């Protein structure tokens, strides 16, 4: 269906050098978009021909604004944004310090907020409609052991998505989010205990951990004309992990 095509669009996907963001950026390219990949590392990841990679540390105070400015300089027609950058720096709550707290909130929440703001300012100045998708998490709805700062940051992302949808609707900019569950990415690479994996697989209706590609189609949909009347929504992508109470015994 043409309604699901991104053929006339130009997009920036933050945190797309690996994991979910990388899969999303590739899927958007396959849907026809011209995609700008982004990461902190200087070396570019595996990308489709014709794509652009920008390196920018979003923990720098003006990092979000610099990234958006550089993207518009290369792709003046930019109209789609995926706020995907984020990571996990938690310690147990009684051991948490301000350094790890600040790093979590500044990357997972502050950076995404100001990337979205810089993007929306450019679109509003041009009178151009657009769409944003944020990467939230099931941690934005349900807490996890030794994950207090991350949980707070993702809860903030959930409300940020709804609040930005409210603020940007008059400018013709839709804002939605995805909430991945347990996805196999570099962020979850430490999950190698067979007993824990078996526990999560029993708790998940579909019987497996997710892969980055499981999130990609949802983002393409939310950015496409097929979702033209959808804004302020969070689409949970967790194989049913957060739906049931106990799971298989």
How many whole angstroms separate alpha carbon 104 and alpha carbon 18? 18
Q: Nearest to residue 216, comparing CAs of 247, 248, 185, 173? A: 185
Cβ–Cβ contacts within 10 Å for residue 169, how many?
13
Residue 236 Cα distances to 107, 147, 218, 240, 241, angstroms: 22, 19, 9, 9, 10
Residue 213 Cα distances to 1, 22, 66, 204, 226, angstroms: 20, 9, 29, 17, 20
CB 120 within 8 A of CB 83: no
Residue 224 appears among annotated catalytic residues: no
How many whole angstroms separate alpha carbon 21 and alpha carbon 33? 15
Residue 154 appears among annotated catalytic residues: yes
How many whole angstroms separate alpha carbon 175 and alpha carbon 181? 20
Positive or negative torsion for Cα 191, 41, 62, 233 = negative
Name the catalytic one among 16, 17, 34, 137: 137
How many whole angstroms separate alpha carbon 240 and alpha carbon 182? 11
Residue 229 appears among annotated catalytic residues: no
Q: Nearest to residue 55, comparing CAs of 94, 10, 15, 26? A: 15
Cβ–Cβ contacts within 10 Å for residue 23, how many?
22
Give the up-direction half-sphere exposure of residue 16: CA atoms within 13 A in the CB hemisphere. Answer: 30
Name the catalytic one among 17, 147, 154, 224: 154
Name the catalytic one among 51, 150, 203, 224: 150
Residues marked as catalytic: 137, 150, 154
């Amino acid at each position: 269906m043409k309604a699901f095509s991104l053929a006339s669009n130009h997009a920036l996907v933050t945190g797309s050098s690996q994991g979910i963001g990388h899969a999303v950026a590739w899927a958007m390219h396959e849907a026809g978009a011209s995609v700008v990949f982004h990461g902190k590392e200087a070396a570019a990841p595996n990308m489709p021909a014709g794509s652009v990679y920008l390196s920018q540390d979003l923990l720098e105070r003006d990092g979000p604004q610099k990234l958006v400015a550089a993207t518009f300089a290369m792709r003046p027609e930019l109209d789609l944004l995926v706020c995907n950058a984020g990571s996990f720096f938690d310690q147990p709550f009684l051991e948490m310090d301000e350094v790890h707290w600040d790093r979590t909130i500044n990357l997972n929440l502050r950076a995404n907020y100001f990337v979205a703001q810089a993007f929306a300012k450019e679109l509003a100045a041009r009178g151009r409609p657009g769409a944003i998708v944020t990467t939230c998490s099931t941690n934005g709805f349900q807490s996890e052991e030794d994950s207090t700062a991350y949980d707070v940051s993702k809860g903030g992302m959930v409300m940020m998505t709804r609040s930005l949808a409210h603020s940007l609707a008059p400018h013709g900019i839709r804002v939605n989010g995805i909430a991945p569950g347990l996805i196999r990415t570099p962020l979850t690479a430490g999950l190698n205990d067979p007993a824990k994996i078996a526990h999560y697989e029993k708790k998940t209706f579909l019987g497996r951990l997710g892969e980055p590609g499981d999130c990609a189609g949802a983002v393409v949909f939310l950015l496409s004309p097929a979702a033209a009347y959808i804004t302020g929504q969070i689409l949970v992508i967790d194989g049913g992990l957060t739906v049931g109470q106990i799971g298989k015994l």
